[in-house]
Structure 1
C-alpha cells in the first residue's frame, strides 16, 4: 500500500493542533519573555516538548485566554 500524499496528511490535520513557538506566543499575548515563561512554569499555559524545543498548542493558548476571560467576568 502506498503512503498517503502530503496533501492528504495536511488536509487531515486539525488546525486546533497547530503548534506555536514561545516568540509566537509572546507576540500574540503581547507579553514579555519572562511573563510567558512564568505562565509555562506555573502550568497556566501547557506546552509540549519535542526534543529540546518547547511548543504551545494553539488550543492550549485558546483555553488559557478563555479561562482568563471567565475569571475577569466573574
Structure 2
C-alpha cells in the first residue's frame, strides 16, 4: 500500500487486526486496532489531524523506528 505513495493513513480494525496486528503493519497499515476499534475511532481521527500522540491512544499497535509498539489495552 505504501508503494502507491498516497497521502493517506491506513488503520485496520476487526477480528484480524485484533489477533494478528503485526501482519497488518507488515503489509503497510499505519495502525492496527486491538479489540473494539469502534471505541477508538475518534482518537484515531484526532491523531491523524495532529493530536493526540499515538502513544496515548489505547488498544493500538504501530511501527516506530521499525519496531512494533503495543499500547495499553482499554
Query: TM tier, shorter chain?
Result: under 0.3
TM-score w.r.t. length of structure 2 = 0.26
Q: Max radius of gyration: which structure?
A: 1
TM-score w.r.t. length of structure 1 = 0.26
